[in-house]
Amino acid sequence: MATTDDSIARPDLTGIRGWLFDLDGVLTPTAEVHMHAWARLFAPFLESRGVKPYETADYFAYIDGKPRYDGVRSLLASRGITLPEGTPDDPPTAETVCGLGNRKNDAFNESLAEDGVEAYPASVAFLDAVAATDAEVAVVSSSKNAPSVLATAGLADRFEVVVHGGVAAEHGIPGKPAPDTYEYGAELLGLPTTACVVVEDAESGVQAGAAGDFGLVVGVDRGAGHENLRRLGADLVVFELDELIPLLPQHHRKAGS
């Protein structure tokens, strides 16, 4: 277990009844798979355009946590590139926003099928600790691949509520950094947002939590940086979720736990 950032006061979680988790980078290391897939997409594309090369920092600044096509638009805008929007049915070879997004998604799914994914042990330990309380849990992910990632990681049976990119698109819910998907997750749990914690590793996700009226926003530093996540609105920043276990109210334990 890593050490929680001592510069932040211990939060009071006695009124918390729901935990809203991002998936990639919070529960599973699939953020790394996404990161590599984006790099494979944009490194040759940007080189062919003769603009500033793709860097790892671009992922955190423009892509991480956003719906796929929003990430494409954001990265392209950072280089002054405008492409036709296209449609979600565009082939991966199409030079459109949707075509590039679909090309990235193919690379991600190929890596997931070949290599699989295992949940972070510290995140599983925290989920076990939360399961021993009366709190509810949900996954709120921008990725349409969230259900397959949860299944591959052996986490699917832990979450009855999963708000993923496909759900957001179906219901016309704005993606992160807007707070709406997290608000919808709280609604599906039957809880007010003030009784829920948002747990995020992405800049856009932390911004989403900070933009809503949530009880707490927890940042998980997988590379975005403690100071950066706090600046964007995280109330507490940790390296691993098991750092949060001592913060769980003991008197909320379920009977027999």
Q: What residues are annotated to the active site? A: 22, 24
**8 A C-beta contact, residue 238 and residue 4:** yes
**8 A C-beta contact, residue 219 and residue 60:** no
Q: CA-CA distance, 237 to 164, in Å (whole number)?
A: 24
Integer angstrom CA distances of residue 179 from 15, 44, 168, 210, 213: 20, 33, 12, 8, 9
Q: In terms of DSSP H, where are the helices of 90-244? A: 97-115, 121-131, 146-152, 165-171, 180-189, 203-211, 226-232
Strands 196-200, 161-163: pairing is: unpaired
Tokens (6 digits) for 124: 């599983």
**8 A C-beta contact, residue 137 and residue 21:** yes
